[in-house]
Amino acid sequence: MKKFFETIVAKIQKRDPCFDIFPYYGIMPHEHRVSVQDGKLVSLGTVFLDKEKWPDNFVEDTDAPGCGTFYCPNKKCKAKCGGRL
């Protein structure tokens, strides 16, 4: 798992548009809400985004609502990483 994150960080630093992690299956688009209270970071929970706010590269799984596949958002790397767009 460490190698996975090191690869992502390296690609972000090089501004590589394709992170070589797509497509991947996961929970629907969401945000983690946090707050700082008494100098400490406090989780306020997870908020799932409305469908109209989902990115174009996410396709919900009809057999498992709330989960789905994220495809590469880079339209130029379809052959490289299986991008759907």
Task: List alpha helices for 14-77, DSSP H.
Answer: none
The per-residue pLDDT for 50 is 94
Domain ranges of the chain: 22-81
Q: What is the block-wise mean pLDDT of the chain (85 residues), using blocks of 10 residues? A: 65 60 86 90 91 90 92 67 54
The per-residue pLDDT for 17 is 57
For the chain, the distance separating the N- and C-terminal CA atoms, rounded to the nearest angstrom, is 27
The per-residue pLDDT for 81 is 59
Do residues 67 and 17 lie in contact, with contact meaning Cβ atoms separated by under 8 Å? no
Residue among 20, 12, 6, 10 nearest 80 (CA): 20
The per-residue pLDDT for 71 is 83
